[in-house]
Chains A and B, each alone.
Chain A
Amino acid sequence: MIEITHLTKRFGDLTAVDDLSISIEAGEIFGFIGPNGAGKSTTMKVLACLLKPDSGSAKVDDLSVRAQGDAIRQRIGYMPDFIGYYDDLTVDEYLQFFAAAFRLPRKKRRSIVSGVLELTDLTAKRDTMVSSLSRGMSQRLGVARVLIHDPKVLLLDEPASGLDPRARIEMRSLLTELARMGKTLMVSSHILSELAEMCSSIGIIEQGRLIFAGSIDDAYARVKGAERILIRLEPADNIAQIVASVVSALDADERVESATPVDGKAGVIDVELKDAEPGRHFLLERVIAGGGRIASFEPQSVNLEDAFLRLTKGAIQ
């Protein structure tokens, strides 16, 4: 559905997107991840025909953004990271405005607006002025706006930004529902745990370059060797000394990547093993040798944040 090939976009000396290639299948929820200034919004703006690529190609539904902008606009719904609103309109008028902008037949507009309001749970706010909506409601209205012409592809730039936990959960379920309806979603977000729960594939971008693209399982597999284990020691009077002794004993082992006291007084140590290290028994031996008595031993599962932190360098441009 979305095919980006060797896309490059420059702003003067700054290369915002550098030789980016991504392929997103129809019906996928694609999570677009990267630090601030990585080039996510620029890529989305190119797909939304708001920016022209300097080189490479970008296609939506087999239509080129360079030559077939009008046809693409009919197929995409783009929600920018900061949604501007006409504060002199009601919610209903705002949606009617965009329905007319997409040249939907006048007779059908009211029913389409009602349907979209229902889908986004905004029916009760129909006659409310846009300017008086809360942040969560505004974001919902932003989603309602991009759905008004029933596009095949939704480009959502930070749709959950600034939302409280309840509103984030509601937004997540709304997006999942849209995917179930057959839409292809490209979603950028900094809240990686949420992307992990709803995305079928992800792309990680840094300094305009694609670092990783594939399924979330692939991303985990890429960092799976680096297993983390949280060791909790039993309380003791000299717990800080014991922790220091255990940490130095663990650090001395070549199979351990790092051992870090999470909380010295509580006796918690975060141990990271080297890649593909199958054994665990030596950890117990080292802890005992260091004078510690184990209260618990918890292997930590890898999450998307770990994968993101491992795959990116934290560089920004």
Chain B
Amino acid sequence: MTKGEPRPSRLAPLVRNLDPRTLFFGPIFQKDMRISGRKLGVYIGRSLFALLLAAVVSIAFYSVWQSTGFNQSPSARIQSLQNLAPVIVVSVLWVQFVAMALLAPVLTGGAICEERRAQTLPTLLTTPLSPVQIVCSKGASRLAQLIIIALIALPVLLGVRLFGGVRAETILAGSSISLTTAIMGASIGLWFSARAARGTTATLAAYCMLALLMAGLPMLASAINLIAESEFPGARLPDLLGPWAPDWPLRIPTDVLYASSPPLALGAVSYGSAVGMPIRSIWVGASLWSLLISLGALTFASVSLRAVMRRSLGAPKLTRRQRRQHKKAARAGDASPVDPGQLRARRSRTVADRPVLWREIRQSLFPSKAMLVAAVLGVVLIMGIMYLAVDIDELALAMIPIIIGTILILLQAALLSSGGFASEREARTLDALLTTRISPFQLVASKMLGSIRRQWFIPLILLIHMGVIVAYRETHPIVLLHLSIIFLGPIVMLSGTGVYFALRFRKSITASSVNLALALLLWLVWPICMGVFFGALDIGGYEFGEAMANFTLFTHPVWLSAVSVEGARGHFSDGFDLSNLDYDTPSSNLGVVAWTILVFASTGVQIFIGLLAALAALLRFEKHTGRAA
């Protein structure tokens, strides 16, 4: 630069990078949209979703019209519709919320991992595109699919308003919470995708983070409120803080507590307005909070993207011991420098006779021991807060972790099982395996067993948690047997279907999404439909409705877990007596023997379905490869 020449502005490139057209809708966005636009399945999926919503509303409308009869006055019919409309709107909003919150991390979890695996990320990083633009464009292209689904639901929801009884703000608030939660999930998925080696790992980590944000923050806020209002002298927060206690009240307001968690905020929007809660501040606050977290996650993803690439392409990261070895070799004046490959060496193990199974059962859920330790410490911290804040005999102490944990088990089973085959295909190792003498049965069975084995962490944490409560004699130990059996059912079933979908679909992300959609359909959409059809609409009469409710709940792991925990509660200071246990079901109360049979039967059905799916996978694999098992 010559003297007198104006200095180039440092702000200009920053402004250029933050231009929304290039930040979100740049070449990566256009490429991804073009690719998804070519897929027929995308259009079929969207059409099916729209048809499903329209069918639910139409059936509801028709049933009310029929059930009110021709003799009833128009005002009575309108009254019935007005009663039904909020139920439909709230159901659709919840389905939409859960579907979007769960699908967003799946869609973005593999976004950057896939680029790295296909070795296209270094090429992207050599273009003028900044890491922020890469991350945001990836997120925008994946989120566009979810936004289209949300937009499909909007006319249906607004159409239901014609029945009356539904406020426009409820629809707006629900849609806003769903959309911003999806943005948050997608951003967190991208953050982990920039760091993790595999899409499924990134997705699972994103789920854990979402669970922490959705449940951990309200729990923390509740704990603060409990301590702030403690009745014990000297245990109140201002007393504990002493001279550092602020002047303003330490209690966290209810609307802030609700806004800190999207499901709580949606709960307030769904039902809170009826009891006079200030829903506007809650849904606006929840939406802004989600967007703020999204911004943070996207920033972290952008910052870590280049650093991670530099690490993976450059010299290996050495441990302290390896660095010492390296220095020692250099001091000794060794002409040949220590080979980084050798520094990465480790003692080779002996491979067993079933090599695929041997490798599968050695695949860890956590990429490193440090991650495992961090996860354990995180769990211990959260549980510690809970044990401090809630009495050991409170039902909530047992119930909340079990419900959240069972949901996480379902998500984990849906995601992890589809990774095995897909990762072989993505790593291009499947061809080499198929030229060996490994039979298709051995391959499919090993993949399924490996995925089941990798899912030990969350069930173990939950069983330890219940074990602590059992140790305090506040719950019967039979709950440990019931929970173990209940957890096994969906794990085996979704592992079987996951292996099938992994063979059916080319990409692991598609297989994971379809497996997750199956879990959602079975354990979210189906129960809600049952609730609407047989509860609100009373189709088929009371007995038929009760039978359907029983069938739905008896195969629902979350419900089974909750009832098992509740039924096993009691004070067992004089010994563990089984005769007092009572399990509450929609039709009747069951004793421990009947409940145990029910739990085993439910798990048996799920295991059977899982094995059937694995058999279908085996047949497909044989047909595809032309090899007999």
Binding site for B on A (CB under 8 A): 45, 48-50, 52, 69-70, 73-74, 76-78, 80, 82-93, 96-103, 106, 109, 125-129, 131-134, 137, 145
Contacts and interface: CB of A to CB of B under 8 A. Distances in A.
Contact of A52 (B351, B362, B438, B626): B626
Given A84-B428, A127-B347, A78 B435 contact: yes
Contact of A97 (B351, B427, B434, B625): B351
A222 B265 CA distance: 81
B459 to A, nearest CB: 24
B494 to A, nearest CB: 24
The 10 A-B pairs at the shortest CB distance, nearest first, are namely A84-B428, A84-B429, A92-B348, A101-B436, A96-B351, A100-B355, A132-B341, A127-B345, A132-B344, A97-B355
Interface of B: 316, 339-342, 344-356, 358-359, 362-363, 424, 427-438, 625-627
A126 B436 CA distance: 22
Nearest to A100: B355
B353 A106 contact: yes
A134 B625 CA distance: 32
Contact of B351 (A74, A93, A132): A93
B432 A83 contact: yes
Most buried by A among B346, B347, B348: B348
Contact of B437 (A73, A82, A87, A88): A73
A137 B431 CA distance: 20
A103 B437 contact: yes
B344 to A, nearest CB: 4
Most buried by A among B347, B354, B356, B431: B431
A278 B363 CA distance: 70
A91 B346 CA distance: 10
A131 B344 CA distance: 9
B100 to A, nearest CB: 34
Most buried by B among A52, A100, A127, A145: A100
A127 B348 contact: yes
B624 to A, nearest CB: 10
B435 A73 contact: yes
A48 B435 contact: yes
17 contacts: A48-B431, A49-B434, A50-B431, A69-B626, A78-B432, A83-B428, A84-B424, A85-B427, A86-B429, A89-B359, A90-B348, A91-B348, A92-B348, A96-B348, A97-B351, A100-B355, A129-B345
A82 B425 CA distance: 12
A90 B345 contact: yes
Given A50-B434, A69-B626, A80 B352 contact: no
Contacts of B627: 69-70
Nearest to A127: B345
Contact of A101 (B341, B362, B424, B437): B437
Give the dominant DSSP class at A's interface: mixed
B349 A93 contact: yes
A92 to B, nearest CB: 4
B184 to A, nearest CB: 32
A29 to B, nearest CB: 20
Contacts of A45: 431
Nearest to B349: A93
A9 to B, nearest CB: 13
Contacts of B344: 128-129, 131-132
A227 to B, nearest CB: 44
Nearest to A98: B436
A132 B432 contact: no
Contacts of B427: 84-87
A223 B488 CA distance: 70
A52 B434 CA distance: 13
Nearest to A76: B435
A90 B342 CA distance: 11
Given A50-B431, A86-B359, A89-B359, A101 B438 contact: yes
Given A78-B432, A93-B351, A129-B345, 18 more contacts: A45-B431, A48-B435, A50-B431, A50-B625, A83-B428, A83-B432, A85-B429, A86-B359, A93-B349, A96-B350, A98-B432, A100-B351, A100-B354, A101-B356, A101-B437, A127-B348, A131-B344, A145-B432
Contacts of A96: 348, 350-351, 355
A218 to B, nearest CB: 32
A50 B435 contact: yes
Given A86-B359, A100-B355, A126 B348 contact: yes
A85 to B, nearest CB: 7
B353 to A, nearest CB: 6
A302 B622 CA distance: 49
Nearest to B442: A101
Contact of B626 (A49, A76, A98): A49
B341 A129 contact: yes
A132 B340 contact: yes
A291 B582 CA distance: 114
Contacts of B362: 88
A317 B363 CA distance: 41
B431 A84 contact: yes
Contacts of A127: 345-348
A50 B626 CA distance: 8
Contacts of B429: 84-86
B209 to A, nearest CB: 25
